[in-house]
Structure 1
Amino acid sequence: MSWVAAAFVSAFFAGVTSVLAKCGIKQTDSDIATAIRTCVVLVFAWAMAGISGSIGTIGSIEPRSWLFLVLSGLATGASWICYFKALGIGDVNKVVPVDKMSTVLAALIAIVLFGETSNLAVKLVGTAVITLGTFLMIEKKQSAGPEQQQDRTWLAYALGAAVFAALTSILAKVGIEGVESNLATAIRTCVVLVMSWAIVAAKGKLEQVAHADRRELTFLATSGIATGASWLLYYYAIATGQVSVVVQIDKLSIVVSVLFARLAFNEKLSRRSVIGLALIVLGTAALAIWK
């Protein structure tokens, strides 16, 4: 599979993840949801590392790669915690576009740090178009009544998720040099697992795990599987392709999220949001075609 195809399939799974996760945190605490999902992703990641035959190479990983893989895992954990907290408060159609702003930051950093300057004009214009589209999608939703007024703190959490996600992509690019992508994903997931459960324990929420709704646990487990698939394809694409392009293709997960959110939660888009979504798709297509 080419790195471009891998990036597109990764975007699909990432879009499905958002909706499944939203279904799994209606009653379940977001920190607990993050920890539970990480367990599922961990099993998935190590299984794929075993299938690829890369586990035996773990002893040859350089200390520098270990450092950046761990840092990338910590950034991922922080991004997840903020992201699912935001999903628990706000609409999928509002949280996802803000979170995807991380790709703009990651692309610009990749151009500077990794010298990904081929077709630079297209990349800069495409990134600008995607940014404009994202801002159009972050419009404030018109509420039908006081009960539908949403806590604006979702925006702070979504922005936090975006910043940490951008750091994840850059740190992972450095950390997976010379490391098979499946193995790198598995190692990073171990870091996220420790971090997420440590937060659950520190907040005194361990007792709540046993009382989690079984139906929501099913959604969380399915979300974890989708996340694992998205991760494996995403970091394969980063390892073999151009970060500045991969992170923009990943934005197409917004389309998947919007479609499923419409079906699952009846979240409708205004004309302005539809225009924003179209700009995101056009900008992403330009980056993928003229990579």
Structure 2
Amino acid sequence: MESFLFALLAAFIAGFAPFLEKIGLSSVEPTAAYLIRCSAVIVGAIIVISFTPSLVSMEKMETKSIFFLFLSGILTGFVGQLVFYKALKLGEISRIIPITSCYPLFTFILGWVFLGEAITLCKVLGMLLIVAGILLLRF
């Protein structure tokens, strides 16, 4: 139950943040907005590091883990965020967010192709709902 509540809180935060970003983007270019957002992330990271007594798990990380986490950060935290801000600045928040939230479709395909994850009826139905939602927003 605790994981469900954290997931629900994460979903709320993920839904609320673009609302704030759309308002913030009204008078600034996406690149400048991204720099402000990154500053907030850095401040948050410094605060967390300051109150974390030991980062022992980082000392034990394998190079492979560091590489893939770094690559993920570049893709989502840099490239993806800039592209997202451009879309958010140009489009309606009610149309942009559902489209950008279809990432589970791509995760499903990558998990199946590269990780050998099983395809189940439930997963396929979920992906079909995502595709239907995207098509409905397009028209």
- TM-score range with shorter-chain normalisation? 0.7 to 0.9
Shift of 1:6: 2.6
* Aligned 8 A contact 1:94 1:137 in 2: yes
Query: Which structure ranks higher in relative contact order (CA pairs < 8 Å, sequence separation ≥ 6)?
Result: 1
Distance 2:118 2:49 in 1: 32
The normalised TM-score by structure 1 is 0.43
Amino acid at match of 1:108: I
CA 1:86 to 1:110, structure 2 compared with 1: closer, same or farther past 3 Å? same
Paired position in structure 2 for 1:130: 130
Q: Aligned AA for 2:103?
A: S
**Partner-residue secondary structure (3-state), 1:61:** coil
Equivalent residue for 1:104?
105
Following superposition, the deviation at residue 62 of structure 1 comes to 1.0
Matched AA of 2:87: A
In structure 2, relative to structure 1, the CA distance for the partners of 1:47 and 1:113 (3 Å cut) is: farther
Alpha-carbon separation, structure 1, partners of 2:27 and 2:105: 33
Aligned to 1:225: none
Quick one: distance in 1 between partners of 2:114 and 2:45? 28
Post-superposition, which runs of at least 4 consecutive aligned residues in structure 1 deviate over 4 A? 49-54
Cα deviation digits, residues 203-233 of structure 1 (max 9, x gap):
xxxxxxxxxxxxxxxxxxxxxxxxxxxxxxx
**What is aligned with 2:88?**
87
User: Which structure 2 segments of 5+ residues have no match?
Assistant: none
- Give the whole-Å Cα distance in 2 for the aligned partners of 1:85 and 1:51: 35
Deviation at residue 103 of structure 1 after TM alignment: 2.0
2:26 maps to what in 1? 26
> Percent identity of the aligned residues?
27
Q: Which ranges in structure 1 are unaligned for 5 or more consecutive residues? A: 140-291
Q: What pairs up with 1:231-242 in 2 under 5 angstroms?
A: none
In terms of fraction of residues, the more helix-rich structure is 2
Q: Specify the code of the residue in structure 2 equivalent to 1:106.
A: T
Paired AA for residue 58 in structure 2: I
**Partner residue, 1:113:** 114
1:66-215 pair list within 5 angstroms: 66-76=66-76, 77-117=78-118, 120-139=120-139
TM-aligned CA distance change 1:23 to 1:128, over 3 Å: same
- Give deviations 1:162-194, integer Å, cap 9, x for gaps: xxxxxxxxxxxxxxxxxxxxxxxxxxxxxxxxx
Confirm whether residue 42 of structure 1 aligns to residue 42 of structure 2.
yes
TM-score, with length taken from structure 2? 0.85
1:98·1:138 contact (CA, 8 Å) conserved in 2? no
CA distance, structure 2, for counterparts of residue 5 and residue 114 of structure 1? 28
